[in-house]
Amino acid sequence: MTASSAPLAPALTLRQKARRRRETLTAYTFLLPYLFIFLVFTVFSIGYAFYLSFTRYNLLSPPQWWGLEGYRRVLCVESWFPRPEGAPRPTCDDLFIRKALPNTFKYTAIVVPVQTIISLVLAFAMDQKIRFRRLFRTIFYLPSVTSSVVISLIFVWLFSPIGVINQIFRLNINWLNDPRYAFYTIMMVNIFTTSGTLMLIFLAGLQDIPTALYEAAAIDGANKFQIFRYITIPMLRPVIFFVVTVGIIGCFQVFDQIYVMTAGGPLDSTTTIAYLIYKWAFRDTTVKMGQASAAAFILALIIFIVTLLQRRIIEGSGTVSQ
Amino acid sequence: MTTLTQAQPRPLSISDRLILWYDRLKTPLFYLILILWSIICLAPLYFTLVFSLKPVANAYDPPLFWPIPFTLDNFRDVIGALPLFPRWLLNSLIVSLAVTILRVLFCAMGGYAFARMDFPLKGFLFNAMLVSMMIPGQVTLIPAFLVVGPGIIRGGLKIGDITLPTGFGLIDNLGGVILPGIATAFGIFMMTQFYKSLPRELEEAAMMDGLGRWGIFFRIVLPLSQTQLLTLALLTFQGEWNAFMWPLVILRTPENFTLPLGLNWFRGEYYTLISKVLAGSLFNTLPILILFFLFQRYFVQSIAGTGLKEG
Q: Which residues of chain A make contact with B18, given a CB cutoff of 8 A?
A: 225
Give A20 to chain B, closest Cα distance, Å. 8
User: What ipTM goes with this model?
Assistant: 0.86
Chain A residues inside the 8 Å CB shell of B289: 142, 145
Picking from B18, B183, B311, the nearest residue to A37 by CB comes out as B183
- C-beta atoms of B119 and A277 within 8 A: no
Nearest to A125 among B23, B33, B137 (CB): B33
The C-alpha atoms of residue A168 and residue A189 are separated, in whole angstroms, by: 18
How confident is the prediction for chain A on average, in pLDDT? 87
Find the residue in A nearest to B168 (Cα): A40
Provide the pLDDT for residue B143.
Answer: 94
Where do the structural domains in chain B lie, given as residue ranges? Answer: 53-308
Chain A nearest-CA distance from B4, in A, is 23
Whether residues B288 and A147 touch (CB distance < 8 A) is answered with yes
Q: Which residue of A has its CA nearest to B252?
A: A282
B296 contact residues in A (CB cutoff 8 A) = 138
Averages of pLDDT over each 10 residues, chain B, 311 residues: 54 78 83 94 93 87 85 84 87 96 96 92 93 91 93 80 85 94 94 90 84 88 90 92 94 94 90 88 89 84 57 30
1.10.3720.10, 3.20.20.70, 3.40.50.1820, 1.10.357.10: CATH of A96-321: 1.10.3720.10
Contact A259 B263 (CB under 8 A): no
> Nearest C-alpha of chain A: how many angstroms from B206?
16
Which residue out of A59, A154, A241 would a mutagenesis test of the B interface target, given it has the greatest number of B Cβ atoms within 10 Å?
Answer: A154
SS3 of residue B159 by DSSP: strand
Chain A touched by B185 (CB under 8 Å): yes
* H, E, C per residue of chain A: CHHHHCCCCCCCCHHHHHHHHHHHHHHHHHHHHHHHHHHHHHHHHHHHHHHHCCEECCCCCCCEECCCHHHHHHHCCHHHCCCCCCCCCCCCCHHHHHHHHHHHHHHHHHHHHHHHHHHHHHHHHHCCCCCCHHHHHHHHHHHHHCCHHHHHHHHHHHCCCCCHHHHHCCCCCCCCCCCCCHHHHHHHHHHHHHHHHHHHHHHHHHHHCCHHHHHHHHHCCCCHHHHHHHHHHHHHHHHHHHHHHHHHHHHHCCCHHHHHHCCCCCCCCCCCHHHHHHHHHHHCCCCCHHHHHHHHHHHHHHHHHHHHHHHHHHHHHHHHHC
Residue B266, CA distances (Å) to A307, B173, B197, B245, B273 in order = 38, 19, 48, 17, 9
Where helices occur in chain B by DSSP H, the ranges are 2-7, 14-52, 73-76, 84-116, 122-132, 137-148, 174-178, 185-197, 201-208, 213-216, 222-224, 226-242, 245-250, 259-269, 274-294, 296-308
- The number of C-beta contacts closer than 8 angstroms across A and B is 288
Please check whether residue B311 touches A, CB under 8 A.
Answer: yes
pLDDT value of position B309: 41
Hey, which CATH number is domain B53-308, 3.50.50.60, 1.10.275.10, 1.20.1050.10, 1.10.3720.10?
1.10.3720.10
CA distance A68 to chain B (A): 17
CA distance A10 to B272: 79
**pLDDT at A134 (0 to 100):** 85
Question: Does B244 sit within 8 Å of A147, measured CB to CB?
Answer: yes
Partner residue opposite B213 with nearest CB, options A26, A143, A157: A26
Which chain A positions have a beta carbon within 8 Å of B48's beta carbon? 154
**Best residue of B20, B24, B33, B41 to probe chain A, by most A CBs closer than 10 Å:** B41
* pLDDT score, position B311: 30
pLDDT in tens, A230-277: 888 888 888 888 899 889 999 999 999 999 999 987 999 999 999 999
Among A24, A130, A203, the residue with its CB nearest the CB of B119 is: A24
What is the C-alpha to C-alpha distance for residues A242 and A239, in angstroms, rounded to an integer? Answer: 5
**Chain A residue with the nearest C-alpha to that of B293:** A138
Contacting B residues, span 131-160, partner chain A, CB-CB under 8 Å: 132, 134-147, 150, 152-154
For B282, nearest residue in chain A (alpha carbons): A150
Q: Whose CA is closest to B135, among A276, A44, A131, A17?
A: A44
Which residues fall within 8 angstroms of residue B177, CB to CB, at 6 or more apart? B95, B243, B246, B247, B250, B251, B258
pLDDT (0 to 100) of residue B153: 83
Contact B132 A282 (CB under 8 A): no
pLDDT of residue A166: 92
> What chain B residue is nearest to A238 in terms of C-alpha separation?
B311
pLDDT for residue B142? 94
Which residues in chain A have Cβ-Cβ distances shorter than 8 Å to B129? 38
Residues recorded for chain A? 322
Alpha carbon distances (Å) from B196 to A168, A219, B113, B122, B204: 55, 41, 10, 15, 14
Give me the pLDDT at residue A10, please: 62
Q: How far is A146 from chain B (nearest CA, A)?
A: 6
Q: Which residues contact B63 (CB under 8 A, 6 or more apart)?
A: none
pLDDT in tens, A18-77: 888 888 999 999 999 999 999 999 999 999 999 999 999 988 888 889 888 889 888 988
3-class secondary structure, B158? strand
* Closest chain A residue to B303, measured at CA: A201
**Quick one: pLDDT at residue B207?**
84
Q: pLDDT value at position A2?
A: 45
pLDDT score for A93:
83
Q: Provide the residue ranges of all domains of chain A, joining segments of one domain with +.
A: 2-52, 96-321
* Residues of chain B neighbouring A143 (CB-CB closer than 8 A): 41, 44
Contacts of A240 in chain B (CB under 8 A): none
Residue B182 and residue A37: Cβ atoms within 8 Å? Answer: yes
CA distance B45 to chain A (A): 8
When pLDDT is averaged across residues A297-308 and rounded to a whole number, the result is 92
Q: What is the mean pLDDT of residues A143-167?
A: 91
Rounded to an integer, what distance in angstroms lies between the CA atom of residue B232 and that of residue B195? 14
Eight-state DSSP code of residue B117: -
* B200 secondary structure, DSSP code: S
Residues from chain A that touch B132, judged by Cβ atoms under 8 A, are: 38, 42
pLDDT for the residue A242 = 87
- Which residues in chain A are closer than 8 Å to B149, comparing Cβ atoms? none
| Chain B (40-79) residues lying within 8 Å, Cβ to Cβ, of chain A | 40-42, 44-45, 47-48, 51, 59-60, 62, 64
